[in-house]
Amino acid sequence: MKDQYNRIIDYLRISITDKCNLRCQYCMPEEGMAYIPHQNILRFEEITRLVEIFTGMGVRKLKITGGEPFVRRGVEDLIPMLYEIQGIDQLTITTNGIKDDLLLSLSKYFSGINISLDTLDQDKYKEITRYGELHHPLRALEKLLEQGHKNVKINMVPIRGFNEDELIDFAYIAKESPLKIRFIELMPIGCGKDFQGLSENEILTTLNSEFGEPIPMAYRSNGPATYFTYPGFQGALGFIRGVDHHFCHQCNRVRLTAEGFLKTCLGFSKGIDLGNLIKNGAKDWEIEKAIEKALQEKPLENQFDNFIVEGKEIKNMNQIGG
Alpha helices in 186-229 (DSSP H): 200-211
Burial grade of 172 (CB within 10 A; 0-12, 13-18, 19 or more): middle
Beta strands in 58-98 (DSSP E): 61-65, 90-95
**128-166 per-residue burial string, b: 16 or more CB within 10 A, e: under 16:** bbeebebebbbbbbeebeeeebebbbbbbbbbeebbeeb
Please state, in angstroms and as integers, the Cα–Cα distance from residue 147 to each residue in 104, 105, 150, 234, following that order. 9, 11, 9, 17
3-state secondary structure of 109: helix
Q: Does 106 bind ligand SF4 (CB under 6 A)?
A: no
* Member of 7, 23, 180, 182 binding ligand SF4 (CB under 6 A): 23
Taking CB under 6 A as the rule, which mask of x and - marks residues 115-144 in contact with ligand SF4?
Answer: -x----------------------------
Q: Pick the closer one to ligand SF4 by CB: 16 or 290.
A: 16
Q: Does 318 bind ligand SF4 (CB under 6 A)?
A: yes
Q: Pick the closer one to ligand SAM by CB: 36 or 295.
A: 36
3-state secondary structure of 317: helix
Q: Does 28 bind ligand SF4 (CB under 6 A)?
A: yes
Residue 186 DSSP label: P
Q: Which partner, ligand SAM, ligand SF4, none, binds residue 238 by CB below 5 to 8 Å per kind? A: none
Minimum distance between the CB of residue 134 and ligand SAM, rounded to whole angstroms?
14
Q: Which partner, ligand SF4, ligand SAM, none, binds residue 271 by CB below 5 to 8 Å per kind? A: none
Minimum distance between the CB of residue 236 and ligand SF4, rounded to whole angstroms?
22
Which spans of this chain sit near ligand SAM (rule: CB under 6 A)? 20, 26-27, 65-66, 68, 94-96, 116, 155, 157, 184, 186-187, 189, 192, 317-318, 321-322
